[in-house]
Structures are given as C-alpha cells and as structure tokens.
Amino acid sequence: MIGKRWKTGLLSIGTATLLAGGMLYAQLRSGSYGSRNAASMPQEPVPEFSADGKYDAGSYPSFTPELAAGDGKLEVQSFCATCHSTRYIIMQPPLPRATWDAEVNKMIKVYGAPIPEATAKRITAYLQEHYAPENRKE
C-alpha cells in the first residue's frame, strides 16, 4: 500500500511532468516544421554594418603563465608542457606534497608521460616546493 506522502509526491511529479511536457509541446507547435514549408520559415534579418565602423577580429590572447623560479622549473616546462599547459599547474589549488607525488606518478603510469625516474623526482620536488599549501608562493 502506498502511503499518503508517496501518493502526494507521485502526483506532484506527474503534474510537473505534464506541465513540462505541455510547455515543450507548446514550444514545438509555435512554428510549422513540415517539409512543405521549410523554406518559408521566417529568418532574422542580417545586421547591417555601418560605413564608418571598424570591424576587426583579433586572435584570442594566449600566454603561458610564468612558473615559480626554482630548481626543476626547466624540467616542468620541458616535460609537463608537452601534454598540457603550465597553466594547469598554476590554476590548481595548493596541493599537499603527497598529492603532487601521486599526480606526477599518474602522468607517467596512467597517461604514459615519457619522464625518466630521476627527472620525475626533480619535477615532484619542484611542485612540492612551490605549489603545496604550506609554501605556495603567489
């Protein structure tokens, strides 16, 4: 036997579904979408350009954020930036030392980053030195 609360809940869900379905139906029915009149559907007018206006499309600004100076920076730029921007390192919240170790190992073991073991240790030490909560330099 369904309790009173369940009946009320099911009725509310059913009503919301019916209303949403009705709104969707109303949206679909607001135009004629048949193949016979597809060419006669109204289109928005093309905006006119003014004769004295300056229209230019520039490139999206792209820059590589500067990593903190220190021993291992070159390795991070060389090895990590082959797969992703150094921006990913900087935009992370300060991660604990163990998490940086796990992240570097994940990049090698899971994603196949070709980083030699000695270099991986330098990268990990650099990240722990500059991007851990206890010593992050802003």
pLDDT for the residue 61: 65
Q: Which residue range(s) make up the domain with 108? A: 73-130
Domain contains 123: yes
Domain contains 105: yes
Backbone φ and ψ of 71, nearest 5°: -70, 120
- Res. 134 pLDDT band, cuts 50 70 90: confident
pLDDT for the residue 30: 55
Domain contains 97: yes
pLDDT for the residue 51: 81
Q: In total, how many domains does the chain have?
A: 1
H helix intervals, the chain: 4-29, 73-79, 87-90, 97-109, 117-130
Give per-residue pLDDT as tens, 8-40.
554 455 555 544 545 545 445 555 555 565 556
Give per-residue pLDDT as tens, 100-130.
999 999 999 999 999 999 999 999 999 999 9
Q: Please, are residues 71 and 122 in contact by the beta-carbon 8 Å criterion?
A: yes
Domain contains 101: yes
Domain contains 100: yes
Q: What's the CATH number where 118 sits?
A: 1.10.760.10
Backbone φ and ψ of 86, nearest 5°: -70, -15
Q: Structure tokens of 132?
A: 């851990």
pLDDT for the residue 92: 85
- Res. 45 pLDDT band, cuts 50 70 90: confident
pLDDT for the residue 39: 58
Domain contains 60: no
Q: Which one has a higher pLDDT value, 4 or 72?
A: 72
Give per-residue pLDDT as tens, 49-95.
788 877 777 776 677 778 999 999 999 999 998 899 888 898 888 99
pLDDT for the residue 106: 96
Give 76's contacts (C-beta < 8 A, 6+ positions apart): 67, 86, 89, 123, 126, 127
